[in-house]
């Protein structure tokens, strides 16, 4: 009989401790060193009716809260996390539930501070005149509010899934490396990412449990891939069976200590729940001195995703049917800093153009007239009342140049990236010199008779190069269409055309930035031939600040040369973060079709600019390039990104 009684008491205590460990009362009593510190089994537990989801969230920051019925305000102990009636709390500021908590907070005890941050709260004592059922009320209220918040976030900012493709699986199965977020200064968190790296600890939802409520546990970053992190729950050591990928900037990742300040329960995963008898000591040992996210990380993420361009703003943008001129377009939508622009004359809003807000292809209203650029006037005599001109200060500023002395002249030769075949650097000519350092460039042998395919580059553009650049850097230079004297020699060509090369000193001499890219790194990149598409891509070559981007699953002829600071490159996970649609690598069937028919390939990825004359010349160029092999060399780019925003889990003051 005694054994039966002891077993019954043990079962009762275990059930109560299990409920405590679920966070329904106060955290980790089930895992405490001294089981006597738990609420006495002789104390009766009052049943609490379910609370409506409209209750305010109870935060552990010492503020006063009033329930909907207008009764007593509540306060939270900043040391142990206990929620109780404010008037019963200690000190004038009502920050602590007892003298003991007040002294512990001010004594700078490392162990006490860490336990408080980890929500390993101590049970209520007689010194704290708090209601025993209030912790449950607070947890339920907080949980209800949290679930409502998640639902609202899901409605307003839902990530667009890509069926059958996962960045995590793609990187793991092939041992790929992704470009770090610090390589992309224009992307969210690009300038304030800090040194988030492997080993950083975070608090995340615990999916290895069967509880009806959402609980959390601590995990460490095992691997980083752009915004995405491979996480492993604390306590799994070398066991990777429950490792999972998630976006570091997502709403479910928090710095260590967030659960304590937000009233969220920490519960160990079910798989390892019985691995340790003292979870308090384990966490203190594992987390002392470890790094975590900055406490304002989520706020920084939110701020970095605020964009100055708004819908209904009017801008000037390149005419995709005639490169030599611009047109007025209206901002239809803004996603992650990318603008969907609808040409003003498009009545059904289908004639659109995608670009980033920092793209050199968009300008303020009046820009074309100010520099002498060709401009297509709109047939609309009066702009709509809802539309308004985008302020000039929102656009990227180009470097000022001195055109008073020796400067570019019409007819000078140079090398330039073909805007209609971005995989090629071609022989080009300056066709017109505009104001403020802008130049109209034509690709030799492929120009339309009326100059409708001339393209505007600024003198400081990273897409134009002096004569001999390709030869020096062992890049294949595309000769003029129909030029028979191969291999191409600049000296002979200049003599035959009776022209001169643009002086080297006139080209941009900006030092190569510490961009951090390396050959083989994965990223998400815009297909500039179809700029609405953001695709899985790889850096295949680096020449100073020039990157060659390969679209995974597609042939090399679709590669693109872009600058290392191009706003059309993004970290892995950018599409998921912003809700933009990611284009996965082409499947095997598409690759087979690529190799079987060149015409089918052209239909698979359409051209960005639809000028018919240029399309014809482009196809001829591609025929000339068929069968040629590029021997890519790794450029010297060993720069590493840096940051100083380290946050360590340490003793609180």
Question: Can you tell me the distance from the alpha carbon of 282 to that of 59, in angstroms, rounded to the nearest whole number?
Answer: 26
Percent of the chain with pLDDT over 70: 65
Task: Give SS3 for 485.
Answer: coil
Helices (H), 324-444: 367-371
Residues 6+ apart with CB under 8 A from 540: 519, 520, 548, 549, 550, 559, 632
231's tokens: 């996480």
| Predicted confidence band of residue 57 (pLDDT cuts 50, 70, 90) | very low
Residue 137 has pLDDT above 70, yes or no: no
pLDDT of residue 535: 97
Q: Where in the chain is the domain with CATH 2.30.30.140?
A: 196-293, 308-394, 412-506, 521-583
Helix (H) or strand (E) segment spanning residue 260: helix 258-262
Beta strands in 398-505 (DSSP E): 413-418, 421-433, 438-443, 455-458, 464-465, 477-478
Question: Can you tell me the distance from the alpha carbon of 611 to that of 596, in angstroms, rounded to the nearest whole number?
Answer: 27
Lowest mean pLDDT segment, chosen from 86-95, 498-507, 592-601 = 592-601
Residue 251 has pLDDT above 80, yes or no: yes
**Average pLDDT of 541-566?**
95
Q: How many residues does the chain have?
A: 653
- The alpha carbon of residue 381 and the mean position of all alpha carbons in its chain are separated, in whole angstroms, by 41
Question: Can you tell me the distance from the alpha carbon of 354 to that of 46, in angstroms, rounded to the nearest whole number?
Answer: 60
228-233 vs 560-563, strand pairing mode: unpaired
Q: Is-contact 67 140, C-beta < 8 A?
A: no
| Predicted confidence band of residue 132 (pLDDT cuts 50, 70, 90) | very low
Dihedral sign, Cα of residue 12, residue 18, residue 22, residue 28: positive
Backbone angles phi, psi at 633, to 5 degrees: -115, 145
Q: Is-contact 390 315, C-beta < 8 A?
A: yes
Question: Can you tell me the distance from the alpha carbon of 459 to that of 601, in angstroms, rounded to the nearest whole number?
Answer: 34
pLDDT of residue 69: 37
Question: Can you tell me the distance from the alpha carbon of 586 to that of 535, in angstroms, rounded to the nearest whole number?
Answer: 10
Question: Can you tell me the distance from the alpha carbon of 335 to that of 354, in angstroms, rounded to the nearest whole number?
Answer: 10
| pLDDT tens sequence across 166-215 | 999 999 999 999 999 999 999 999 999 988 999 999 999 999 998 889 99
Residue 448's closest CA among 318, 352, 321?
Answer: 321
592's tokens: 């087979």
Q: Domain 521-583 is in which class?
A: mainly beta
pLDDT of residue 146: 44
Question: Can you tell me the distance from the alpha carbon of 55 to that of 138, in angstroms, rounded to the nearest whole number?
Answer: 9
Helix (H) or strand (E) segment spanning residue 623: helix 612-625
Neighbouring CB atoms inside 10 A of 500's CB total: 12
pLDDT of residue 55: 30
From first CA to last CA, the distance across the chain in angstroms is 53
**Average pLDDT of 639-652?**
41
Q: Domain 412-506 is in which class?
A: mainly beta
Residue 618 has pLDDT above 70, yes or no: no
Residue 409 has pLDDT above 70, yes or no: yes
Backbone angles phi, psi at 12, to 5 degrees: -65, -45
Could you tell me the fold of the domain covering 308-394? SH3 type barrels. (2.30.30)
Could you tell me the fold of the domain covering 74-100? Wheat Germ Agglutinin (Isolectin 2); domain 1 (3.30.60)
pLDDT of residue 579: 94
Mean pLDDT of the residues in the chain? 76
Could you tell me the fold of the domain covering 196-293? SH3 type barrels. (2.30.30)
pLDDT of residue 378: 77
Question: Can you tell me the distance from the alpha carbon of 570 to that of 246, in angstroms, rounded to the nearest whole number?
Answer: 17
| pLDDT tens sequence across 352-393 | 999 999 999 999 999 999 999 999 987 765 567 789 999 999
Residue 164 has pLDDT above 80, yes or no: no
């Amino acid at each position: 009989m005694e054994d039966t009684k002891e077993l019954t008491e043990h079962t009762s205590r275990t059930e109560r401790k299990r409920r405590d460990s679920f966070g329904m009362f106060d955290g980790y009593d089930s895992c405490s060193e001294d089981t006597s510190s738990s609420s006495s089994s002789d104390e009766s537990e009052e049943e609490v009716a379910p609370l409506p989801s409209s209750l305010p969230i109870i935060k552990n920051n010492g503020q006063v809260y009033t329930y909907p019925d207008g009764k007593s305000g509540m306060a939270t102990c900043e040391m142990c996390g206990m929620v109780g009636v404010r008037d019963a709390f200690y000190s004038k500021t009502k920050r602590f539930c007892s003298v003991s908590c007040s002294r512990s907070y001010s004594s700078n005890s490392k162990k006490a501070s860490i336990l408080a941050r980890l929500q390993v709260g101590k049970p209520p004592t007689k010194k704290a005149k708090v209601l025993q059922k209030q912790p449950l009320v607070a947890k339920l209220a907080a949980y209800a509010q949290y679930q409502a918040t998640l639902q609202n976030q899901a409605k307003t900012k839902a990530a667009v899934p890509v069926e059958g493709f996962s960045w995590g699986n793609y990187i793991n199965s092939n041992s790929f490396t992704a470009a770090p977020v610090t390589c992309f200064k224009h992307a969210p968190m690009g300038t304030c990412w800090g040194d988030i790296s492997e080993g950083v600890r975070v608090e995340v939802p615990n999916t290895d449990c069967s509880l009806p409520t959402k609980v959390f546990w601590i995990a460490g970053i095992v691997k980083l891939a752009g915004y995405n992190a491979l996480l492993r729950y604390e306590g799994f050591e070398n066991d990777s069976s429950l490792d999972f990928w998630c976006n570091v900037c997502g709403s479910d990742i928090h710095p260590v200590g967030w659960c304590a300040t937000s009233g969220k329960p920490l519960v160990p995963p079910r798989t390892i729940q019985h691995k340790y008898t003292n979870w308090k000591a384990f966490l203190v040992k594992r987390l002392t001195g470890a790094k975590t996210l900055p406490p304002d990380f989520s706020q920084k993420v939110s701020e970095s995703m605020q964009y100055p361009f708004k819908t209904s703003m009017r801008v000037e943008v390149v005419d995709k049917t005639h490169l030599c001129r611009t047109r007025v377009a209206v901002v239809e939508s803004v996603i992650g800093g990318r603008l969907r622009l609808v040409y003003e004359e498009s009545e059904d809003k289908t004639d659109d153009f995608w670009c980033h807000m920092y793209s050199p292809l968009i300008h303020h209203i009046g820009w074309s007239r100010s520099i002498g650029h060709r401009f297509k006037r709109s047939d609309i005599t009066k702009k709509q009342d809802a539309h308004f001109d985008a302020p000039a200060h929102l656009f990227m500023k180009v470097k000022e140049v001195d055109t008073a002395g020796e400067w570019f002249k019409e007819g000078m030769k140079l090398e330039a990236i073909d805007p209609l075949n971005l995989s090629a650097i071609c022989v080009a000519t300056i066709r017109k010199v505009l104001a403020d350092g802008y130049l109209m460039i034509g690709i030799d042998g492929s120009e339309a008779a009326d100059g409708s395919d001339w393209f505007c580059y600024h003198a400081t553009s990273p897409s134009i190069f002096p004569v001999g650049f390709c030869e020096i850097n062992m890049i294949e230079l595309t000769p003029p269409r129909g030029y028979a004297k191969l291999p191409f020699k600049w000296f002979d060509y200049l003599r035959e055309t009776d022209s001169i090369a643009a002086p080297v000193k006139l080209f941009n001499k900006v030092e190569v930035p510490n961009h951090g890219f390396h050959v083989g790194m994965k990223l998400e990149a815009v297909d500039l031939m179809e700029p609405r598409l953001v695709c899985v891509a790889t850096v295949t070559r680096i020449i100073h600040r020039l990157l060659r981007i390969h679209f995974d699953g597609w042939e090399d002829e679709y590669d693109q040369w872009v600058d290392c600071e191009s706003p059309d490159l993004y970290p892995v996970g950018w599409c998921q973060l912003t809700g933009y649609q990611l284009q996965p690598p082409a499947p095997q069937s598409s690759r087979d079709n690529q190799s079987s028919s060149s015409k089918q390939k052209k239909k698979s990825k359409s051209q960005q600019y639809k000028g018919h004359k240029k399309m014809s010349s482009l196809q001829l160029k591609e025929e000339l390039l068929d069968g040629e092999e590029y021997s890519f060399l790794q450029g010297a780019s060993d720069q590493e990104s840096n940051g100083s925003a380290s946050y360590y889990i340490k003793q609180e003051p």
